[in-house]
Amino acid sequence: MVYVTGFRCFKCGKHHTPDEIENKPIPRCSNCNSGLDAEYDYDSIRKSLLTDSFIRGTPSHWKYWPFLPVHDLSKIITMQEGGTPLLENNSLTRDIGCKRLLIKYEAMNPTGSFKDRGSSLEITKAIEYGKKKVVLASTGNMGASIAAYAAFAGLDCLVFVPNIVGQAKIKQIRAYGAKIRFVDDDYSETMKQAEEYVINHSDSFLTGDYPWRGEGTKSAGFEIADQLYWNVPDIVIAPIGNGTLMWGIFEAFIDMHTVGIIDCIPVIIGVQVDGCRPVVDAWESKEKVIVPVDDPRTIATAIACGDPIDGLGALRALKETNGMAVSVSDEEVLDARDFMGKHGIFVEPSGAVAYAGARRITERFDKKVVVCMGTGHGLKDMYGIKEHT
């Protein structure tokens, strides 16, 4: 049974049938070229889902399959992504000054970041369409993740990488046997080149922050509520690169609320870095558009997305949940990374961005249950770790 009923455009609201979207090389709105949001038959999901075995079952990515647009569950490509821990540490809770502070430790995914959630769904779709090759633009982690899942499924993989990506992450892509094409420009230009490639090569399947990835990323949000026994935390804090993670988490809470498993939506807070803060700028100036940042520079390379594709989605999540956006300096990010590491939770710099943001706005946290996304493993990028302590 497939519960997806269509895809609606973020910007102009145009509705597309699943068929219309599934046959496009670049799944975007046919009217205005913006991002798309999947819609589901929530009544049917409600009837089949709200069972004891679902409510009590162990949290894992594919547990939430009714909210994912796949046709044949017997053909999914999975490497046991998701089901990542919600870590609670007293020193971190005291540092932030809230009631409970939980780190959703996405480092525990097969390739060390939450990207594996989206990759599992995307590679499943590529196989569904009978494609032989997947293509994407990546700042590193998505490249490694797709490279792994493609290799696992027996597909070729070509990754376009911008000039900001470090050697360690390039090796993580190569380790899975993917081909790399270097683009001496920023991420946004790199994405354009990946899209052009797919338009000219019909045997290839475009992965990246398009609707499939957004839908796959939702499981991070489902798991948070599930792990709290279907209680909703007061606040969820996430970094914003392309905005896909934040949008996915928001959508997950909306999905759960719509079918009635939860009774409210958390406040969502987004964090960017000073060197690349287009969503924070839009938030602070109350603009409805996002002005791209040229050539972003930051040590948090996984979120150096100057023209975030799901930026409008992220902005909507902040507005509709009464949230906010803040930015932090590279130095604060490294401090947060070091502090978390010293309490046993090792994340890469981008993985500490949400925590660094939390430290900035502790006045909002009195007696609150706060979840911070720890998005990627510390081993992925060890920039700035001191040789002597």
Give the residues lining the site for ligand PLP (CB under 6 A): 113, 115, 141, 239-245, 302-303, 305, 348, 350-351, 375-376
Closer Cβ to ligand PLP, 113 or 298, answer by number? 113
- Rounded to a whole number of angstroms, the minimum distance from the CB of residue 187 to ligand PLP is 10
- Rounded to a whole number of angstroms, the minimum distance from the CB of residue 337 to ligand PLP is 11
- Rounded to a whole number of angstroms, the minimum distance from the CB of residue 375 to ligand PLP is 3
- Rounded to a whole number of angstroms, the minimum distance from the CB of residue 378 to ligand PLP is 10
Closer Cβ to ligand PLP, 66 or 270, answer by number? 270
Closer Cβ to ligand PLP, 198 or 372, answer by number? 372
Distance (Å, rounded) from C-alpha 55 to C-alpha 344?
31
E strand or H helix that includes residue 158: strand 156-161
Give the CA diameter of the chain.
59
For residue 246, what are the contacts with CB-CB under 8 A and spacing of at least 6? 238, 240, 268, 270, 310, 313, 314, 317, 318
> Is the separation of the CB atoms in 306 and 187 below 8 Å?
yes
Closer Cβ to ligand PLP, 225 or 245, answer by number? 245
As beta bridge partners, residue 210 has: none
- Rounded to a whole number of angstroms, the minimum distance from the CB of residue 240 to ligand PLP is 5
- Rounded to a whole number of angstroms, the minimum distance from the CB of residue 309 to ligand PLP is 8
Distance (Å, rounded) from C-alpha 30 to C-alpha 32?
6
Distances (CA, A) of 64 to 6, 55, 127, 128: 18, 11, 20, 19
Which region holds residue 83: left if phi is over 0, alpha if psi is between -120 and 50, else beta?
A: left
- Rounded to a whole number of angstroms, the minimum distance from the CB of residue 8 to ligand PLP is 20
Closer Cβ to ligand PLP, 245 or 317, answer by number? 245
Burial of 1: CB neighbours in 10 Å, binned 0-12, 13-18, 19+: exposed
Closer Cβ to ligand PLP, 332 or 348, answer by number? 348
Three-state secondary structure call for residue 104: strand
What does DSSP say about strands 15-16 and 4-9: parallel, antiparallel, or unpaired?
antiparallel
Closer Cβ to ligand PLP, 242 or 321, answer by number? 242
